[in-house]
């Protein structure tokens, strides 16, 4: 089975598993190397901390996937999604050092300082 296969509607297996909150399938797909970047971005933007947790903890993401763009931590800070901030800081701490297109790190935004204090 190709874990990146798409349905006729263009949905990935991971997308369907997330929509159905099938945690065992999400963990399996993440551990097998499913591309979680877009799904993590989507679940952060829609403020779904339960799914953000599983994607961040088990997904295989790297810093170079977020060069010169807002990463999920930037988005969480901008919308003050505190649960997402805490999850991302714990499981993907390297996101703290990523700069967006404006040259700002997530902790350059005031909300992050209010939630976590000084780093």
**CA distance linking residue 53 with residue 91, whole number of Å:** 8
- Taking CB atoms within 8 Å and a gap of at least 24, the contacts of 17-23 are 18/43, 18/51, 18/55, 21/50, 21/51, 23/54
Residue 107 lies in a domain: yes
71-112 pLDDT, tens digit per residue, is 999 999 888 899 999 999 999 999 999 999 999 998 887 655
**CA distance linking residue 30 with residue 69, whole number of Å:** 23
Please answer whether residues 58 and 25 qualify as being in contact, where contact means their C-beta atoms are separated by less than 8 angstroms: no
Residue 67 lies in a domain: yes
3-state SS, residue 36: coil
Q: How confident is the model at residue 30 (pLDDT cuts 50, 70, 90)?
A: very high
Q: What is the pTM of this model?
A: 0.85
Residue 111 lies in a domain: yes
Give me the number of domains the chain comprises.
1
Q: What percent of the chain has pLDDT over 90?
A: 61
Residue 1 lies in a domain: no
Residue 51: name the closest of 80, 25, 77, 89 by CA: 25
Residue 5 lies in a domain: no
Q: At what angle do helices 49-58 and 82-91 cross, to 10 degrees?
A: 10
Residue 104 lies in a domain: yes
User: What is the sign of the dihedral through the CA atoms of 82, 73, 45 and 49?
Assistant: negative
CATH code of the domain containing 61: 1.25.40.20
Residue 2 lies in a domain: no
Residue 6 lies in a domain: no
How far is residue 78 CA from its own chain's centroid? 14
**Structural domain range at position 37:** 13-116
């Amino acid at each position: 089975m190709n874990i990146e296969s798409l349905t006729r509607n263009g949905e990935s297996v991971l997308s369907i598993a997330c929509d159905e909150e099938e945690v065992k399938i999400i963990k399996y797909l993440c551990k097998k190397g499913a591309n979680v970047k877009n799904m993590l971005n989507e679940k952060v933007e829609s403020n779904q901390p339960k799914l953000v947790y599983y994607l961040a903890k088990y997904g295989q993401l790297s810093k170079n996937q977020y060069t010169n763009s807002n990463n999920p931590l930037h988005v969480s800070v901008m919308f003050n999604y505190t649960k997402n901030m805490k999850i991302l800081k714990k499981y993907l701490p390297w996101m703290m050092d990523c700069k967006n297109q404006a040259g700002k790190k997530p902790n350059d935004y005031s909300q992050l300082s209010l939630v976590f204090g000084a780093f």
